[in-house]
Structure 1
Amino acid sequence: MMLRAAVLGHPISHSKSPALHRAAYARLGVDIAYDAVDLTVPQLPEFLAAVRADGSWRGLSVTMPLKAAMAAAVDSVRGVARQLGVVNTVAFEAAADTAGPAGPARLVGYNTDVAGIVNALRYAGVRPRPAAAILGGGGTAAAAVAALQELGAPEAAVYVRDVARAAEARAAAAAVGLPLRILELSAAAPAIASADVVVSTLPPRAADGLAGHLAASGRPTPGVLLDAAYDPWPSRIAAEWAAGGGTVVPGLEMLLYQAVEQVRLFTGHDGPLPAEVIDVMCDAVGAPRRVF
């Protein structure tokens, strides 16, 4: 029986997750078919009911707008995902039935975005206790909050278009104990230019206006910018950041590092993935090779 996994979200046609996962499974010699499924929040319960009844599923990668909804839909949540209430990964685990054969698989939620952000920033040279800012306040911003706490940031400023709509970032900060300031995105340009690290979790092109302000100000941007959006690339804010002298980390690297953890969970691989598996994942999406 061919095993199955997929990335879920809306829209999803741009996702590079299929290329990453297929390359890994081919190199590992594991028969897991990995697809992209366009899915909205109202469609999630029906989809999960179908996969629960199908014993071939091994994992789900979860992207916007499903991350918070998935946290409430799985059977259990582990690790930092429990603190954040945001799930980007679902692993299917066999459920033992003491009265007979094993029952239906249990759906277990994780968050590998945090590891993806931490590794991407560490490889870019971010030092401990950075002055930090986050653009956006949703599910990926929640992961960024946890990642910055792990990197030792004393606090973080979160810039959003509507200060009343940053519930996920606020909840994450309370859960991991990181002091947070919620500010209007329109005021972000001067502050982020002097930050040690900025994580943009905004959708593609949503930071174009902010990039225009950076360009007009002529301010240097010596810090590190991780832009989670990777299509189109380079984004306007990434281009302006680089022009200001800063280091830019494409979202593709974050995607790669979080996918490495997903592959381990979906295959049950014990320990780090072999270097040659990570190499083929990098090649599949044109990401730079790093030493893990």
Structure 2
Amino acid sequence: MHWKFWLPILAIPVIYLAVALSLTLIRPEVGSAGSLNFERLISSDNTVEPTPLQTFETRDGQALSFAHYPSDSNLKVILLHGSGYHGAYLAPLADYLASTGIGDVYVPNVRGHLGSGNRRGDIDYIGQLEDDIDEVAALILQENPDARICIGGHSSGGALAMRYASGEYGSLIYCFFGLAPFLGPDAPTIPETDSGWAHISLPRIIGLSMLNTVGIHALDGLETIRFNLPEPYRDGTETLGYSWRLMTNFALNRDFEKDVAGLPGESIVFVGSDDEALNAEAFVPLFSRLDKQVQVIDGLDHFGIVLDEGVMQRLGDWLAQH
């Protein structure tokens, strides 16, 4: 057969790679002035100081940082922070659960954030975050072999906790709770109005997805999302951008319903009716259909669901049952 016949066919992979690589050149940019209500995080009502960070060495030799809020309770709680920051803002909730004797609380800083891993905003591979949580769980069980472990988190941390609890390590988890968990861009819980917090580069994401499809991962460290944290609330401890690897791992799988359905029988989600980043009412039919509990709390926004004393008591009462 004449070589000219094969030329268009041979050109297809070249064109495919050229398109994919050109798309990866477009970086994410913050283009909106709006964002979440960060004023709540620095209000005078938040008087609980985070406990000093501790570190331990993970299986790859890197350090992972965490705050421990000790209690004699046999219920050990792993509490995960949301995107762009670290576990300090969870101190009031962690302190409440520990001081009331409900749970012995561990708040790790997710790898790629303050004090965890060698690179801010990046990880080594997708799935590393679950491996890290597994090491936190192993650390707990080494000292307390009969402990019951409950995992929970806020926003993207709620998604990561859900991803872990419904994944291969889920047998270690007795119960799960989510505080305004982010279920992903395809979920009905995404509101019509953008909160202005997270800004992705869709072209770069498409390009990297194309490369991943053919087994090319050399560019997975490229940044694909930026967070709009206003200047007055920055102190240098925040992480304002994520690589493709970290963005993908710090979220549910694309089949988010399978992750929700795979949660332990003892699971609950709290979300505020005034959440800027989520459509709160959409949680109810989705989780009810998948046989999971949801409570929508009137008048609370995205951070209010974490800092409200009433929610702390509700969650504490639910955990106390275990």
Q: TM-score, normalised by structure 2?
A: 0.31
Whose radius of gyration is greater, 1 or 2?
A: 2
Q: Give the number of the structure with larger relative contact order, counting CA–CA contacts within 8 Å between residues 6 or more apart.
A: 2
Higher relative helix content: 1
TM-score, scaled relative to structure 1: 0.33
